[in-house]
Amino acid sequence: MALLPFSIMTLFSYNTYFRGLMYRVSEYSQEVVSRMARELDEYFLDIEALLTKEQDFYLDQLIKLVEGNDFNNRKYVFRIWEDLSNLQRVKPDVEELSIIFPNGNRLSSYGLYTVDYEAFLADYHRLARENGVAILGPYANFLNRIVVTMVKPYPAPTAQGEIYLSAEIDLARLASITDVKLGENGYMFVADDTGRIIYHPDGEQIGTLSPFFQNGVTQGFVDGFNGAGSDRYFLTTARSPITGWTVVSVADADELGAELRPIQRITYLVIAIILVAVVLLAGYLSHALSRPIKELQDLTNRAANNDLSVHIEPSGNDEIAQLGHSFNKMIRRIQDLMAENVKEQELLRKLELESLDNQIKPHFIYNTLDLIIGQLESNKTEEAAYLIEALGNFFRLSLSKGSETVPIASEVEHVRNYLFIQQLRHGGEYRYEIVIEDEEILSKYIPRLLLQPLVENAIYHGILRAGREGTITIRGRQEGDNVIFEVVDDGIGIEPSKLQDINEVLRGIRPLNNEREYFGLRNVNKRAQLRFGPEYGVVLESTLGEGTKAILTIKALEGEPHV
């Protein structure tokens, strides 16, 4: 634990030293660029003073000649040229002094020539400040030297337009002002408000947009660490209010950090050692302290995945051991509850089956016996004998020796006897047929009394309500591991809203209005789902006036009857 404060202290010391170094670099750089900006201001103020002329007699006389389209008076031209030449000797770093007239004539210390006055005016008005002074460029002059030009209007305009005085300054002068060594890779440059480079030690950069200029939320040059490509630099800036330019100091970040690298390497090494020690210690503590918790978590996950055979062996008497004892008690209680639930479910299924069986038997027996008595009284002994035999088979198959499951062949025979008896009871109002498409399913087992309630529904709610003769068809087939039974009648059918209601009740979407609602269908559906899962059970399909199809999907069981 003592390593952690030491690590924090090491990082704090390194950061403090680094911030102090950056502060000193920033202070020095700021002092340098501020001095450069002041020198720029002073120099261009001198140039502006050079261009400041009050009413000049010879120039005024020349202006009058220009207004009269007479520009050939050598006396005034020579005198003004001589003045310009003398002024240029005072400022040898001024490349050219000139006067620009509205007709495009330019009288300079190099002579008389013409310029594009309209283009000149467009540049001037774009860059002119409130005092009328503008600095144009950089560009290559007629001697192919890179210059900037300060322009100022003469106070006596002609009727044809303004007259301007200009001074071209060689960029070598800016180079001398910003010639400061900033390490091996550092340098200084000058840029305007749009980020366009006015002067740069690398001449190819002049006139291009600086990569350090930002056009986002913060516009302009930002002091501090900055990137250009894959390199990082430390920028310091100062603005020249006279020119509107920004002097930018660019220091290589790698050079600035050179003296910090040994300290940095030592710091990183110490931190790495501390981290390794902390990881090893944490690993040991994690293994020693969390192993019982991890074991308990694994056992809990196994219990959540229905493995209730899990048991933990607590060691010691701490909180984790107490939690282990509580976990074992919980598992034992869950096992007891699940055993009780299984017994309750088995009992519930038997009670529901008995309830369905008891519902079927009383009125069915009485009606069938009345039918037999009627047959005997009418001396129809042969029909009575068939009825007695069918009734005996019906109840023998219903009992199934107390087994909950029966072979499909027995269930089919049970339904066949039921249909035979009901057909005689109702005077042959319907026909029936039983079609088993895959006879190999006859030897497999299913829960008993699944088909009879579906057949009873088809008779009483389908055929008899139609008031005409009809047909009941029972089909059975195998689909994969499942057995599908369809009980189809061509009776009255079911209204779409009621059909939807029945299917929603069977799927558990809608609650029951009362316990007797769709009792037979719900009983078959619930028993199938309790036995095989929620994807099994009964679904109804029906067309009003055409008939109904009850589809029962179950899984066939192999082997002996299941009690």
Instruction: Dig out the tokens for 232 from the structure.
Output: 């990082």
What is the C-alpha separation between 102 and 63, in angstroms, rounded? 10
Delimit the domains of the chain by residue range: 24-46+178-256, 54-174, 259-303, 355-555
Per cent of the chain over pLDDT 90 is 15
Of 133-147, 227-241, 301-315, 344-358, minimum mean pLDDT range: 344-358
Q: Is the pLDDT of residue 420 over 80?
A: yes
What value does the mean pLDDT take over residues 420-448?
85
pTM, two decimal places: 0.44
Same fold, 24-46+178-256 and 355-555: no
Superfamily per CATH, domain 24-46+178-256: PAS domain (3.30.450.20)
Cβ–Cβ < 8 Å for 312, 293: no
Averaging pLDDT over each range in 137-146, 265-274, 450-459, 470-479, which range is the top one?
Answer: 470-479
First to last CA, the chain: 67
Between strands 164-170 and 146-153, the pairing is: antiparallel
**In the chain, % of residues over pLDDT 70:** 73
Q: Is the peptide bond before 138 cis (omega within 30 degrees of 0)?
A: yes
Higher pLDDT, 345 or 235: 235
Per-residue confidence at 475, pLDDT binned at 50, 70, 90? very high
Instruction: Answer yes or no: is pLDDT of 92 > 80.
Output: no
Query: Going by CATH, does the domain composed of 54-174 fall within 3.30.450.20?
Result: yes
pLDDT at 270: 73
Mean pLDDT across 20-48:
83
Question: What digits encode the pLDDT tens for the residues 203-213?
Answer: 889 989 998 88
Buried b (16+ CB within 10 A) or exposed e, 40-78: bbebbeebbebbeeeebeebeebbeebeeeeeeeeebbe
For 355-555, CATH number?
Answer: 3.30.565.10
The torsion of the CA quartet 93, 95, 101, 105, rounded to 10 degrees, works out to: 160
* pLDDT score at 386: 56
Strands of 245-252's sheet in order across: 197-199, 187-191, 245-252, 231-240, 224-228
Give mean pLDDT, residues 484-499: 93
Q: Using the predicted structure, report yes or no on whether residue 354 has a pLDDT greater than 60.
A: no
- Determine contact, residues 466/491, Cβ cutoff 8 Å: yes
Name the least confident of 16-30, 133-147, 164-178, 497-511.
16-30
Where is pLDDT greater, at 387 or 509? 509
Q: Which is higher by pLDDT, 338 or 17? A: 338
